[in-house]
Chain A
Amino acid sequence: MPFETVNSKVVRAHVSPGTPVLARRGSMLGYSGQVAFRPVHGQGRGIGGMVGAAMSGESNPMMATEGTGQVLYGHKGLHVTVLELDGGAPLVCEADRLLAHDATLQTSVQFLGSGGLKSAISGAMTGQGLFTTNVHGRGAVALLSHGGAFPLQLQGQQIGVDPQAYVGHVGQLTVDLAAKVGFRDVVGRGSGEAFQLRIGGHGTVYVQASEKKF
């Protein structure tokens, strides 16, 4: 377990030759020991991942932290939530929510929702971040949120989530993007917020206490 919560906004990673860490570029607050940082390009494995990244703008610049030492990570005073993945269902989240994760975890880009290509394109047009990153494998992930992420447990019921406030989810969940009539006037503060995410199934959804995306 390489991540230790220092406070609600900072995590500390114990990096050793066996356990390198991938982290958002610019998120290193400080370190002790013999540690080196190396920029990593092209998040996501394989051609599909790369195409997805290019298409979605989900190319979050990351870096590898290698060596032996202790490294502090944080980003712009945002809250950090550490999740342990057990190797079962992947974590689904937006790429810019990833502060750091075990380098052994795999990431890939996925279109969130079931509307097919047409809605994928319209989604990309509205900039709703409908392309998400899947994090697979066993290990720890540190996620960013504005004001802290609170978990909502789903046991078969369906919930609605503001896409701006959606942080990520783990479990056997289906996510649909619903354009609700009249929703635009109500929920959106500006343009292009006429959507809500309808999430159902079994698992945990993480939601932040703010409609601010970053």
Chain B
Amino acid sequence: MTYPPGNPYGQPQGNPYGGQQGNPYGQPYGQPQPHGGQPQPYGQPQPPYGQPQPGYGQPPPGYGQPPPYSGQPAPGGQPSWQPSTLNPHTLPDDDNVNPYVFCIALTGGEWFMSKGAMLAYYGDVRFDAVTEYSSVQAWVASRFSSPVYISDWVVAQGHGKLLIGDRGFDLNSYDLDDGNLTIKASNLCAFSKQLELKQSIVPGFVTLIGTGKFIASSNGPVIFVEPPFRADPDALLGWADCPSPSVHHDAQWMTQNLRGMISGALGRASGEERQYDFTGQGTILLQSSEVAREDPAVLRLVESQTQLLTNSQAGSLGQRLIARAQQQ
């Protein structure tokens, strides 16, 4: 078995389906990037937010370049696909290992981390529940001011290299410089302790404020767009600098589709009847819409808002929810 050290992982030489039409593997996305040794800022939508790339969705320069291939041919003369061999010294500091894995270098400091994001680690690393940690360290409570999410997060501290991932989704790191960015809570994987986390007014979203780094996942590469833009709630990953969105109901859709009109009142039928409407200046982050992940915090969030209801209103809401649960 051979694992040539420093061999850029992935990438069989040439195009596996050479020259054939409609080749999805010819796209820059998803292709293993040169790594292992030469940390390259690939995969980072290094906050083009604020200065969005013209022609959103395009890979940054140097993204799709074929990596230098230095693999040894496997028996049979075909280049074999070998992973890079990594150790604590060759793992990058606070950078992507591949499009789906990010490596945090812990040097005595603390990171907030989503429970379950840990894939592996080298060194001496401790994980503490934020709830427990905040009673000891006052700054934690002040940074993590999102009680709805607190039970889903841990504080990682110590010395070592920590590898994180999220369901095999693309991971991107974002550097905030005295800025703020709002992101879907279930896509946020980790953030440095210099940043402050607050609940957004839009359910299911959180806002990061300050100067520091955070890591968030996306289904497929992040797509950057500018307002005016209307986004499907499921495909919306986040936004920066622009005002919080308003909800746009597509009148034409609702009048033509009775079903959409009814379900539009208490939920959503297909997504075309209701969008988040962005205006002003800023950047919107989109992902390929996902099978919605069950976010336990949303339940807590909605439940806390039922305080606004009177008792009889709460009762009728309960009945409607039971009816919906039985329908499914």
Contact = CB atoms under 8 A, between A and B. Distances in A.
Given A6-B223, A28-B271, A38-B252, 18 more contacts: A8-B24, A10-B57, A12-B57, A29-B232, A29-B286, A29-B288, A30-B232, A31-B229, A37-B250, A37-B253, A72-B286, A76-B290, A79-B24, A148-B25, A150-B25, A151-B20, A204-B21, A204-B22
B65 interface: no
A83 interface: yes
Interface in A153-205: 153, 204
A77 B291 contact: yes
A39 B17 contact: no
A75 interface: yes
18 contacts: A7-B57, A7-B220, A8-B29, A12-B57, A27-B289, A31-B229, A32-B225, A36-B253, A37-B253, A38-B252, A38-B253, A61-B270, A77-B287, A150-B16, A150-B17, A150-B24, A151-B17, A153-B20
Contacts of B17: 150-151
A77 B237 CA distance: 13
A113 interface: no
Interface in A5-31: 5-10, 12, 25-31
A206 interface: yes
Contacts, number: 124
Nearest to B169: A77
Contacts of B228: 32
B293 to A, nearest CB: 11
A76 B289 contact: yes
Given A8-B27, A38-B256, A61-B270, A82 B220 contact: no
A25 B270 contact: yes
A28 B232 contact: yes
Interface centre among A28, A30, A150, A153 (most CB of B within 10 A): A30
Given A10-B223, A30-B225, A148-B25, A39 B291 contact: no
B220 A32 contact: no
A31 B277 CA distance: 10
B256 A39 contact: yes
A32 B230 CA distance: 6
B221 interface: yes
Contacts of B256: 38-39
Contacts of B260: 39
Nearest to A25: B270
A63 interface: yes
A206 to B, nearest CB: 7
A74 interface: yes
A4 to B, nearest CB: 9
A149 interface: yes
B275 interface: yes
A72 B235 contact: yes
B289 A29 contact: yes
A59 interface: no
B256 to A, nearest CB: 6
A39 B256 CA distance: 7
Interface string B244-287: 00000010110011001000000000111001000000001011
A160 B39 CA distance: 43
